[in-house]
Amino acid sequence: MSTERRGGSRRTSRPQGPAAQRSQRPRKPAPRRPAPRSGEPDRDVHVADGVRLQKVLAQAGLGSRRKCEELIAEGHVEVDGVLVTELGVRVDPAKAQVHVDGMRIQLDASKVTIALNKPLGVVSTMSDPDGRPTLAYLVKDRPERLFHVGRLDADSEGLLLLTNDGELANRLAHPRYEIRKTYLVTVTGGEFYPRHAKQLTEGVELEDGLARADKVRVVDAVPGETMLEVVLHEGRNRIVRRMLDAVGFPVTRLVRTRIGPIALGDLRVGRTRVLGRTELGTLMRDVDM
């Protein structure tokens, strides 16, 4: 490529031929290197009697050991907030926090998180002194001691999460993280107008304080009934029912369809499924794990 001045301006002539075509081809983007999760200088995360990092990743389902070596070498993997690109690093799977492209990887095979489609009439406890059906019956075949994250009242249906990861359960329940829940709600009370949705998103005064929905939209309507999608991050008792009652629309059916990134999908009533690696990693990222 050459340059020349003409009339006081500078012009650049582009190379021609095959060399020019090669130079104009789009470059393959470099692998994204996630920034360390803390502002501290890099620390030595190597554990002499630990397990090779690529083996840990392979056992966690990230691919073959060779593929995991490539992930490390290309700068996709962090251990305890430190970017690791050397293949000789060993870690303690029971203690290390490993992220791949910013997503937390669960290394402890004993920890499990499951999605449950709670049926109508089941109480959100593991035991009930009154003998009502409980969650314990629905997970009786699971060997783990599971905790339910949040609850749905007996008259409500849909998605519940259960886990034996105490830290994850506590964070999901903590209001600090504002995990959104989505509900499909059938109401009566006449026609549901945009002003009613605005009331709910601006805030409704309840006996225990102001409550706001993040989003409300009409999904379907027939004479006498309206189906709404309601999204909110509050977890107060019967909050959706109480909010809709307050604006004149009693709830006849309530189904929770989503908790954060986890969707109920086509999971059948009364059935469970174990969360996949990507689902779990996204959920853990949402609560800063």
Q: Record the pTM.
A: 0.76
Q: How many CA atoms lie within 13 A of 240 on its CB side?
A: 29
- Residue 280 contacts residue 250 (beta carbons within 8 Å): no
130 is known as an active-site residue: no
C-alpha Rg value of the chain to the nearest Å: 26
- Tell me, what's the pLDDT at 12? 43
- Integer angstrom CA distances of residue 36 from 33, 40, 43, 267, 283: 9, 8, 11, 37, 20
- Tell me, what's the pLDDT at 272? 96
Pairing mode, if any, of strands 157-163 and 251-259? parallel
SS3 content of the chain, % helix, strand, coil (to 5): 20, 30, 45
Show the domains of the chain with their CATH numbers.
51-105 (3.10.290.10), 113-176+262-286 (3.30.70.580), 180-259 (3.30.2350.10)
Pairing mode, if any, of strands 103-105 and 262-263? unpaired
Burial, 187: exposed, middle or buried (Cβ in 10 Å; 0-12, 13-18, 19+)? Answer: buried
- Tell me, what's the pLDDT at 39? 46
- Tell me, what's the pLDDT at 106? 85
| Binned average pLDDT, 10 residues per bin, the chain of 289 residues | 46 46 43 44 78 90 90 92 91 89 86 96 93 94 90 95 93 91 96 96 95 97 95 92 97 97 96 92 90
Catalytic position from the list 80, 128, 141, 153: 153
What is the spatial distance between Cα 152 and Cα 174, in angstroms, rounded to a whole number?
16
